[in-house]
Amino acid sequence: MVDISNFLHFFRLLDCSAVLALYFLCRGTRLSDQCRSTHHNTSSNHSFFKVIGLSFEVSDSFYGRAQQGSITRQKRLLEAKPNILDGLRSDCVWEMTFLQRVIYAAAVFVVFRARVYSLLYSAWAVAEIICVTLGLGIYPADSEPRIVVGPTNLEKYRELKGRSDVTYSSEAVVNLDISEIEFSDGFRSGIRSWNKSVQSWLALYVYSRTNRLYRVELTMFVSALWHGTYGGYFMSFLVVPMCTSVEDIIFKHVPVNPITNQRPTWFRYLYILTFRCRGFDMLATGFLLKNFKDTHRFWSSLYYWLLVVTLPIYILDKLYILKESLGKSTRKKDL
């Protein structure tokens, strides 16, 4: 096997970009053809499209062609192009109850995940298949390969590489773990399982090289900047450190059972269905609405509940970390 771990991430992104570019090229060509067809002769347009099943209108009407404005035709569902985000952008959210707004945010996040899985995950899956077929990023399983990094146990890798009697792993090119994203018990595990190559890069070059006091915040800031410069991105990503701080404190008080290697079932269901899932729902609306004005309007309708819950605990946690670091520096000076 060829060791190209330094270039693997580049090739995977290149494959993904090629698939996406092909999709948008085909889509743009189709839309361009539609726009040109609207400038053609009306009668020829009608004779082509007036087919049962493609239109509510079966035959051409001389009156309809002479008096186009007098006939109102209902748009088909696919022509209407409903946008689920329009409700979040309007002041109509204030007419809903708080529970309805929470359910609306959850529905928006479901639609968003469905779109992502059907488009981006398909592109990533194709890229992974290409890499596996070519043998790129395939290492002996005992060498403990990780995405972006490659084999982490170099002694085992040197010993086993090229052998046909060992088990090989494609973990170095797996970019998404849907089961972990959907069913993991926390914010950290869910985020780490999404776009794992970028998450690993951020962990290696930002998180691990930054002071403990603000390393999560800086990592999320860089992640938001990597996605774009919309205010909604920064609002969503910069709330994540507050969520992870609260999560760490909660998990300390509800330890993992050493036998089952899991926390109590009642706690997992309660935590996932309340704080984790509803928190992700709210953060996703900021990511989708993008601009600050729309995000602020909808989050205000939710009373910024996620910040109200997490911010006080987050501040206390940071003060504790600061006090601990100052205490360590004082003890070092005394020595």
How far apart (Å, rounded) are the C-alpha atoms in residues 5 and 146?
A: 10
Of 5, 11, 1, the closest CA to residue 145 belongs to: 5
Question: With contact defined as beta carbons under 8 Å apart, do 245 and 313 qualify?
Answer: yes
Q: Which residues contact 109 (CB under 8 A, 6 or more apart)?
A: 280, 281, 284, 285
The count of other CB atoms within 10 Å of the CB of residue 209 is 10
Of 180, 185, 139, the closest CA to residue 162 belongs to: 139
9 assigned to active site: no
Question: With contact defined as beta carbons under 8 Å apart, do 180 and 191 qualify?
Answer: no
**Given the residues 40, 227, 253, 296, the one annotated as active site:** 227
> How remote is the C-alpha of 275 from its chain's centroid?
18
To which H or E segment does residue 146 belong?
strand 145-146
Q: What is the dihedral of CA 256, 260, 265, 268, to 10 degrees?
A: 40
Give the single-character DSSP code of 273: I
Question: With contact defined as beta carbons under 8 Å apart, do 213 and 161 qualify?
Answer: no
Q: Which residues contact 147 (CB under 8 A, 6 or more apart)?
A: 171, 172, 173, 174, 175, 196, 197, 200
* Residues identified as active-site: 227
